Amino acid sequence: MTKNFEIARISSVHRDQYSILGNYGEVFAEITGKLLYEAQNLIDKPLVGDKVEVEYFNNNELAIIHQIKKRTTILKRKTAGKKIDYQGIAANIDYAFIVQALETDFNLNRLERYLVMINEAHIVPIIILSKKDLLTKEQQDAILEELENRVKDYQIVLFSNKNGENLDQIRKLLKKDKTYCLLGSSGVGKSTLLNNLLGAEIFATKEIREKDGKGKHATTKRQMIKLKNGALIIDTPGMRELGNIDIKEGLNITYDEVTTFAKDCLFNNCTHTHEKKCGVLAAVENKKLSQKRYDNYIKLRKEATYHSMSYLDKRRKDKNFGKMIKRVLKNTVKNHRR
Ligand SMILES: Nc1nc2c(ncn2[C@@H]2O[C@H](COP(=O)(O)OP(=O)(O)OP(=O)(O)O)[C@@H](O)[C@H]2O)c(=O)[nH]1
Ligand SMILES: [Mg+2]
Ligand SMILES: [Zn+2]
C-alpha cells in the first residue's frame, strides 16, 4: 500500500458515488478511473461494507478510492426480475439478521431461502422476528413450534420495536468490530430496529402504510453505521424477490440432513425425486424429514439450477460476442492497412 493511503469501509453507495467510514468520520468518495474501467461486472465495484484503500484530500473532506481489499465474505443474490446476473448486497459481513414480522410476514419457505443465500456466503444467520407486541402468547408459541420443526441450530429472537421487549437480547448479540446486516421484506421493522439500537431517529421508517398495505419502501439504499459499542450494522431496503444462483454449498449447509439421508440412496447421482431406494424420500416417508422442508429444498434446488445454467449460457454468449468483436476489429485493422 502506498504511503498516503488509508483504510476505510464503504458506508453507502449511490451509483458511482460512495460514502466511506474511516479515520475522519463519514466522507464522500469516488473511485479511480482505473478501478471503474477494470470493473467488468457490478460485483467488481465497491459494495457497502467493503474495505478500501483511500487517499484523502481537501482537508480530509473528500477521498479517492484506489483499491478494494480482498473480501472476507460477500453476500449476493440474483438481480431482481428476469435478468440473470449477480448483484452484490454487501461485503465483509460476519452476521446476517433475517428479519420477519410475526404478524404479517412470517414465512418458513422464504426464511429457508434467506438461509441458503447466507449460508452460501459462510455468514452466520440469526433469525429475529419483530412485532411481538401484536401477537398473543399462544400465537407466538405456535409460530415458535413451527419454526423449530423446520429450522434448527439457529439463534432466534422474538422482539418488539414498539414496547422494546427483547431488544436487550439483540443488543447482546452485537459485538465490537463485527459487521452485521439486516435482511427482510419491506415494512418488517429493520430501520426501526436500527433507530432503537442507535437510540436516535437516524433512519427513515415508514409510519404511514398505504391502503393496500404494500406501499413504497421506506429505505432506498444500503447504509452502514457504527454503533456506540463499535459494532457495524448495514440497513438494506426490503427485498421483493430473492433469487439464488450457484448455491450448492448454501443448500448443503442449510439442508445438511438431506446429505446425511442421501448416504442411503442406491444411486450416487440420485436426485431424490423419483428414484427407488432413495434415502431422502425414505426419510420423508418416515417423517424424519418434513414434507414441507423437502418440497422447499427441491424447489430451491430446481430454481437455482435453472438460474445457474442460464447464467453460464449468458457468459458463454458474452464470451463469444467478445471474440467476435475482437475478430471484427482485427479484420478492420487488416483491411485498413491494405
Ligand atoms: N407494532 C409494531 N410495529 C412495528 C414494529 N417494528 C416496526 N414497526 C412499524 O412497522 C413500520 C415499518 O417499519 P420500518 O422500520 O420502516 O420497516 P423496514 O423493514 O425498514 O422497511 P423498508 O425500509 O421498506 O425495507 C413502521 O410503521 C414501524 O413503526 C414492532 O415491533 N411492532
Ligand atoms: Mg427500512
Ligand atoms: Zn436419493
The pLDDT tens digits for 5-14 are: 999 999 999 8
The pLDDT of residue 245: 82
- What pLDDT was estimated at residue 212? 46
Q: Give me ligand 2 centre to Cα 81, in Å.
A: 21
Least confident of 3-7, 211-215, 239-243: 211-215
Compute the mean pLDDT over every residue in the chain, rounded to the nearest whole number: 89
Vertex 102, ends 129 and 97: CA angle to 5°? Answer: 20
| Atom 15, ligand 1: residue with shortest CA distance | 189
Compute, in degrees rounded to 10, the torsion defined by CA atoms 90, 92, 94, 95. -10
* Residue 64 CA to its chain's centroid (Å): 27
Q: What is the distance in A from the centroid of ligand 3 to the CA of 227? A: 47
Alpha helices in the chain (DSSP H): 33-38, 108-120, 137-150, 167-172, 190-198, 248-254, 256-262, 279-285, 291-337
Which range, 15-19, 277-281, 328-332, is most confident? 277-281
CATH class given for the domain over 248-313: mainly alpha
Residue 335 has pLDDT above 70, yes or no: no
| Closest ligand relative to 265 C-alpha | 3
Location of each CATH 3.40.50.300 domain in the chain:
74-235
- DSSP alpha helix (H) spans, 167-255: 167-172, 190-198, 248-254
The predicted structure's pLDDT at residue 306: 86
pTM over 0.85: yes
Q: Is 155 or 313 the better-scoring residue by pLDDT?
A: 155
Cβ–Cβ under 8 Å, residues 85 and 42: yes
Which residues in the chain are classed under CATH 2.40.50.140? 6-68
pLDDT top residue among 204 and 180: 180
Cβ(66) – ligand 1 distance below 6 Å:
no
333 has pLDDT over 70: no
pLDDT band at residue 215 using 50, 70 and 90 as cut-offs: low
Instruction: For ligand 1, pick from 192, 219, 223 the residue to mutate: most ligand atoms within 8 Å of CB.
Output: 192
pLDDT of res. 210 = 46
**Residue 336: pLDDT band by 50, 70, 90 thresholds?**
low
Q: Is the pLDDT of residue 254 over 50?
A: yes
Q: Tell me, what's the pLDDT at 211?
A: 44
Q: Which residues contact 303 (CB under 8 A, 6 or more apart)?
A: 243, 244
Q: Mean pLDDT over residues 247-252, rounded?
A: 92
CA-CA distances (angstroms) from residue 71 to 4, 39, 53, 88, 286? 22, 15, 13, 12, 43
Class of domain 6-68: mainly beta
pLDDT at 140: 96
Is the per-residue pLDDT at 115 higher than 90? yes
Model confidence band, residue 101 (pLDDT cutoffs 50, 70, 90): very high
Distance, CA of 9 to CA of 12 (rounded, Å)? 9
**For the segment 268-282, what is each residue's pLDDT rounded down to a tens digit?**
999 999 999 999 999
Tell me, what's the pLDDT at 8? 97
Instruction: Write down the pLDDT at residue 147.
Output: 94
* Domain at 74-235, CATH from 3.40.50.300, 3.30.9.10, 3.50.50.60, 3.40.50.150: 3.40.50.300
Lowest-pLDDT range of 46-50, 123-127, 207-211, 319-323: 207-211
Q: How far is the CA of 140 from the centre of ligand 2 (A)?
A: 24
- 231 pLDDT more than 60: yes
Cα(29)–Cα(10) distance, rounded to whole angstroms? 9
pLDDT tops 60 at residue 208 = no
List where CATH 1.10.40.50 sits in the chain: 248-313
Kindly tell me if the per-residue pLDDT of 123 is higher than 70.
yes
User: Given ligand 1 and candidates 103, 128, 159, 161, which is best to mutate, with the most ligand atoms within 8 Å of its CB?
Assistant: 161
**If you average pLDDT over residues 162-174, what whole number do you get?**
97
